[in-house]
Amino acid sequence: MKDTETINQAAFRAIGEEYGKKFTVEMKNNIAGCVQKETARRLVEYMDLPITPEECLETFLSFTRDKLPDCDYMPGPINAESAVCLQLVCISGS
């Protein structure tokens, strides 16, 4: 499984810092599980940003667009893609 959370949080921090605001753990907890548009709306509200949610989302997407495809895997004994490959090998008997 890819570790997209680290990149997303870096984007949230960068957006806040651009306007002298800080992305906090409380904010992180308040946006967890939200879809992109709702996340942007909440960030603008919680950080009292002088931009629209649409501008916030655009900035977020610009920040993450190039970084997400190359993000690292989450730490763990085995990532999901390797687990699927192992299952296929076991099933096929190879």
Q: Where exactly are the structural domains of the chain?
A: 4-92
pLDDT score for 86: 47
pLDDT score for 80: 57
C-alpha span between 22 and 28 (Å, rounded)? 11
Long-range contacts from 31-36, C-beta under 8 angstroms, 24+ separation: 36/60, 36/61
Mean pLDDT by 10 residues, the chain (94 residues): 85 96 95 94 97 97 87 68 52 47
pLDDT score for 81: 58
Please name the amino acid found at residue 43: L
pLDDT score for 85: 52
φ/ψ of residue 73, rounded to 5? -80, 150
- Superfamily in which the 4-92 domain is placed by CATH: Putative phosphatase; domain 2 (1.10.150.240)
pLDDT score for 66: 86
Please name the amino acid found at residue 70: D
pLDDT score for 71: 73
Q: What is the pTM of this model?
A: 0.72
> What one-character-per-residue DSSP string does 6-55 give?
HHHHHHHHHHHHHTT----HHHHHHHTT--HHHHHHHHHHHTT-SS-HHH
pLDDT score for 1: 76
